[in-house]
Structure 1
Amino acid sequence: MKYTTLPNTNTKVSKICLGTMTWGNQNTEAEGHAQMDYAFDQGVNFFDTAEMYPVPASPETQGRTSKIIGSWFKKTGNREKIILASKIVGRPSDYTAHIRTTGLSLNAITLALDAELKRLQTDYIDLYQIHWPERLTNTFGVRDYKHDPDDSWKDNFNEVLQGLEAMIKAGKIRHIGMSNEKAWGAMRYMEESKAHDLPRMITIQNAYSLINRVFEGDMAEVSLRENIGLLAYSPMAFGVLSGKYIKGTAEADARLTLFPRFARYSSKQSTEATRRYLKIAEDNNLTLAQMSLAFVNQQPFLTSNIIGATKMEQLKENIGSINVILNEEILDQINAVHAEIPNPAP
């Protein structure tokens, strides 16, 4: 395994982070435990979850993923050996109304965090993240920002940071981060932290993959100049970058087979780009999964690459990508495809 540190800290984390959002829906508790056992044995010390998980979010399943992690901690006694990240839902929506209909007030943060700590069977979370912005902006596959003058959101960056600071002082969280955030929001958090001596956002968890390199725009500069590490999610684009949907080898329980509404990475352009990337991988004796993950692993703004799997063989291949190094010739071929079909999945 290879390791980095969470920016502005001495906390060492594996460059591969174990994503968990299928546990409690597509995966059983026993399967979740087996994945954690294997990942831990391979040197993975960084796990990511969220109060909303598993996905798709529902009142019946909400919180199951964290409970599975909590029961593993209790069984193995490994809590102190793991850097644990979780997330609090952002702006209220129909999708998360069963969790919370209030915003990110101190009371909401306190209640959410206490409930999550109970599920996880721990006293603290190493990295607590805002799952998505409260303001209306272009997140979750929306390509362009379109301003809504009727958005009722009021600038509350300072209030959110004060609420998170209270939880740090209470010993319930150690560090804080963003997720699905944009350059403006990231810099507003930086501005408030610097101007008012408030805790600093140290990471940003955004989508990043061969078919979604939007982060390389404004956010890459913000990341490198402000030292905010990327935790890349969906590096496999919901399994699209395994090539199984193109090859017709996807099983009946594959994510996009079970949940076709998750079509963020399935456009005509994304499919064509994936075909081209598959050929590059095969011409270089790599699997598309290995090449896709290795590409993410090599980025200078990356702190950790969040992989997820429903099958153990997928998990082994994903973790094994840490040992794959793409040479300049392969990177040139990848960039040639990107130049012709840039960011087909925003």
Structure 2
Amino acid sequence: MKQRKLGRTGLEVTEICLGTMTWGVQNTEADAHEQIDYALDAGINFMDTAEVYAIPSSPDTYGKTETYIGSWFKKTGKRDKFILASKISGGGTNWIREGRRPDRQSVREAVEGSLKRLQTDYIDLYQVHYASRGHYHFGTAWKYAPENQDTADVLDNIADTLQGLDDMVREGKIRHVGLSNETAWGIGQWLNLAEQGGLPRVASVQNEYSLIQRVFDLDLAELSHHEDVGLLAYSSLASGVLTGKYLGGQVPPGTRATVQPGGLWRNNDYSAPAVQAYIDLAARHGLDIAQMAIAFALSRPFMTAVIIGATTMEQLKTDIAAADLTLSDQVISEINAIYRAYPRPL
């Protein structure tokens, strides 16, 4: 398994990261432990979670995924085998600290809660899950309104949150800092304020990236290149939409659509023809569509790691094996032609 640098941290992470958000709803604790075992045997050293997981989130599932990881650490004694990433909620969820956005105090509360569930004394990469000021992620791009933001309030909140993250770094509870579901301007502000105040530097950003969601190709890619803030890509299969299993209105039993009705915003009349085009391309070249999609994401110059999530061991094995696939120039050319035809099908 190839490894790549995690920003300027000095850490090297495997290009496939084990995603965990289904653990606690679609997957049991035993399933979670089996997936971790397999990933470790496959050479993966990177695992990502969040305080809000499992997804779909609820008061009953809050923290379950971290708890499952913690029980694996306790059972195996192999905490040192993984570079572990987790996240603080970006706010707005009433059962998480009454919906408060991250600030200096809530960072401490969140980190210490996660450490207890994870049964560890440190988190390698601690990320802010999403921008509390509003953003264009999670299917909200068509309602994005940055003109409504209060610049001074945004910057004050980032600075305060950075102070909380710095507290945790100094106490050894987290090692490095990352962002998730951020914009180019937002990342720039985190970087500037960290440099001005001698505070922890952002190492990475975890945003969505797939064949049908390539916003990162633009300003974010430029920032990533110049500032060494690599992408940790999630939903590279568009929550399974790219496999074609939802085409024609299908909802196969046991899929995410059965546990999160209305949550698959990537599956719509605009995305369907693009998905079909990518499936047809894969078939012409004898490729598995899931592996082609992951391999394409891995080929991008700004990519640090692709986070894969699976509800079955068969899916997990297929997705991890994508790391061994190198797409030909012809396949890349055909992908780009489809992208030109369907640049934003969401």
Normalising by structure 1, report the TM-score.
0.95
| Count of aligned residue pairs for this structure pair | 342
Q: Counterpart amino acid of 1:269? A: Y
Q: Counterpart amino acid of 1:167? A: M
* CA deviation string 1:78-114 (max 9, x = no partner): 1011000000001x32xx2101222222211111110
CA offset at residue 319 of structure 1?
A: 0.2
Give the conservation status (yes or no) of the 8 Å contact 2:17–2:44.
yes
Query: Which residue does the alignment assign to 2:115?
Result: 117
Query: Which residue does the alignment assign to 2:245?
Result: 244
Query: Which residue does the alignment assign to 2:94?
Result: 97
CA offset at residue 151 of structure 1?
A: 6.0
The reply to whether residue 299 of structure 1 matches residue 295 of structure 2 is no
CA offset at residue 248 of structure 1?
A: 8.0
SS in 2 for 1:17: strand
C-alpha separation in 1, matches of 2:315 and 2:140: 29
Decide which moves more: 146-155 or 103-112.
146-155
C-alpha separation in 2, matches of 1:50 and 1:166: 20
Give the conservation status (yes or no) of the 8 Å contact 2:56–2:259.
no
Q: Counterpart amino acid of 2:206? A: Q
Query: Which residue does the alignment assign to 1:19?
Result: 19
Give the conservation status (yes or no) of the 8 Å contact 1:52–1:62.
yes
Q: Give me the CA root mean square deviation.
A: 1.5
Give the conservation status (yes or no) of the 8 Å contact 1:46–1:82.
yes
C-alpha separation in 1, matches of 2:194 and 2:76: 37
CA offset at residue 306 of structure 1?
A: 0.2
Query: Which residue does the alignment assign to 1:57?
Result: 57
Query: Which residue does the alignment assign to 1:68?
Result: 68
Matches within 5 A, 1:19-58: 19-58=19-58
Query: Which residue does the alignment assign to 1:210?
Result: 211
Decide which structure has greater helix share. Answer: 2
CA offset at residue 327 of structure 1?
A: 1.0
SS in 2 for 1:18: strand
* CA deviation string 1:307-341 (max 9, x = no partner): 00000000000000000101110001000000011
Query: Which residue does the alignment assign to 1:229?
Result: 230
* CA deviation string 1:133-185 (max 9, x = no partner): 11123222122532353769542222111110110000000000000000110
CA offset at residue 303 of structure 1?
A: 0.5
SS in 1 for 2:132: coil
Q: Counterpart amino acid of 1:98? A: W
C-alpha separation in 2, matches of 1:142 and 1:161: 26
C-alpha separation in 2, matches of 1:310 and 1:247: 22
SS in 1 for 2:165: helix
C-alpha separation in 2, matches of 1:24 and 1:47: 16
* CA deviation string 1:47-89 (max 9, x = no partner): 0000000011100111000000000011111101100000000
C-alpha separation in 2, matches of 1:88 and 1:326: 36
Decide which moves more: 195-204 or 227-236.
195-204
Gaps of 5+ in 2: none
C-alpha separation in 1, matches of 2:250 and 2:272: 15
C-alpha separation in 2, matches of 1:343 and 1:50: 28
Query: Which residue does the alignment assign to 1:264?
Result: 265
Q: Counterpart amino acid of 1:30? A: A
SS in 1 for 2:26: coil
Give the conservation status (yes or no) of the 8 Å contact 1:242–1:288.
yes
Give the conservation status (yes or no) of the 8 Å contact 1:15–1:303.
yes
CA offset at residue 256 of structure 1?
A: 1.6
Query: Which residue does the alignment assign to 2:148?
Result: 149
CA offset at residue 249 of structure 1?
A: 7.7
C-alpha separation in 2, matches of 1:35 and 1:126: 20
CA offset at residue 5 of structure 1?
A: 1.8
Q: Counterpart amino acid of 2:85? A: A
Give the conservation status (yes or no) of the 8 Å contact 1:238–1:256.
no
CA offset at residue 268 of structure 1?
A: 1.2
Give the conservation status (yes or no) of the 8 Å contact 2:104–2:162.
no
Q: Counterpart amino acid of 1:128? A: Y
CA offset at residue 263 of structure 1?
A: 2.4
CA offset at residue 198 of structure 1?
A: 1.4
C-alpha separation in 1, matches of 2:161 and 2:27: 33
Q: Counterpart amino acid of 2:96? A: I
SS in 2 for 1:304: strand
Normalising by structure 2, report the TM-score.
0.95
* Percent identity of equivalent pairs: 47
CA offset at residue 9 of structure 1?
A: 2.1
SS in 2 for 1:207: coil
* Aligned CA distance change for structure 1 residues 248 and 323 (closer, same or farther; 3 Å): farther
Q: Counterpart amino acid of 1:174? A: R
C-alpha separation in 2, matches of 1:104 and 1:207: 21
